[in-house]
Amino acid sequence: MARTTGWGSLFGCFSSSHGGGSRRKNKKGGGGKKKKKVAAAAAGSSGGGSGRPRSLQSRMSFTELSLSGMVSPEDLSLSLVGSNLHVFTIAELRAVTRDFSMTNFIGEGGFGPVYKGYVDDKAKPGLRAQTVAVKLLDLEGGQGHTEWLTEVFFLGQLRHPHLVKLIGYCYEDEHRLLVYEFMARGSLEKHLFKKYAASLPWSTRLKIAIGAAKGLAFLHEAEKPVIYRDFKTSNILLDSDYRAKLSDFGLAKDGPEDDETHVSTRVMGTQGYAAPEYIMTGHLTAKSDVYGFGVVLLELLTGRKAVDKSRPPREQSLVEWARPYLADARRLDRVMDPGLAGQFSTRAARRAAAVAHQCVALNPKARPHMSAVVDALEPLPALDDCLVGTFVYVAPPYAAEDQAAAGKAGGGSSSGRRGRRRSAAAAASGGDHQGAARTTADP
């Protein structure tokens, strides 16, 4: 289903030279073959079997790993040989986070609490000195061991500038932890919707949208495609330069195999972002992710949440409220984020709205591939020649004595009022009067 592109040549995780060819369909009675395949892959990784290490160019699917039964720490380590992931002990991560001190606490999600830490070659030989984020699985939370394992498995094998980098993990007794690169500016959700957060400039919003689109396109067009399944603002993290990176792969799935058109799975995800056909049928495709991207793009354009129960009933669903305006350039300004204060390119906004409109199409076949979305969005930052500014009218600077004299001479008569109206009209006409109306725009 996914088209072959140049991504594989740019990033070595996926190559057309992957060993083993296409994957077999999971048919009844095929479990033994799957298990043998996993065992062979692990043996190859450890230098046994054929003696050739399994590289990331031949990424194992999560299905292959999970079908091998309960995955032990040793099995996981063998399956990730060549990924350069560091395996930490719980004692090492306690030291890194000052015993999970509240002064290092960053936040908490469905997975569990996240702490800031610092690692260097003293923590692990060969480890570059850097600030990290340590995510601790809450065994009583909304996610569990399977989601943790999924995240380790996918991020351990996938590398891209717009995917958050997994540095290592801890799989010790009941402890399940993940160690990521630290993303200095947190989530896109925080910047868009926190009450006291400064409004993101138009150029930054475009940069974030393009970066997130590239990350999603990479997943879809890999040799073994990945469906992200949980694309939303809280899962898009930003570094110090506002580069967007996808995080939280706990719900990710391997894409359809061979001639299959979809993956049948239990419906998971977040209300407002999940594609309608996926909710109704449980049929998951890459176009389900495209829908989620369209919702996030709408959030960037409008400054509104995907679902907001505090709004009037007709405006609670962002997609349903915004859809009629997206294809009408004359009405688009009605949905643009007031926080932008008019500082955006009209042409770029119209094109971005057209992309969003296609992405949230009810018919999944009408939605574009993410590579096409990237192509459509990349030229938009250059369209900065027609910024719409805020209209500011400055009243004419009448002197107090002139106003008093005019009042006495005219006595409130119609001639006095006509004189004042002529002065105001002259000011608004844009002549040499210093009180003329002005339009402000970005330099």
Of 181, 165, 179, 307, the residue nearest 233 (C-alpha): 307
Q: How far is it, in rounded angstroms, from Cα 332 to Cα 173?
A: 55
Closest CA to 137 of 90, 178, 103: 178
Catalytic residues: 230
Buried b (16+ CB within 10 A) or exposed e, 326-359: beeeeebeebbbeebebbbbbebbbbbbebbbbb
User: Bridge-partner residues for 168, per DSSP?
Assistant: 86, 179
- Best CA proximity match to 183, nearest among 242, 100, 121, 107: 242
The sign one gets for the Cα dihedral 436, 347, 320, 235 is: negative
Cα angle 341-348-441, degrees, rounded to a multiple of 5: 35
CA distances from 393 to 190, 200, 242, 386 (A): 34, 26, 35, 20
Nearest 10 degrees: Cα torsion 409, 412, 413, 414:
120
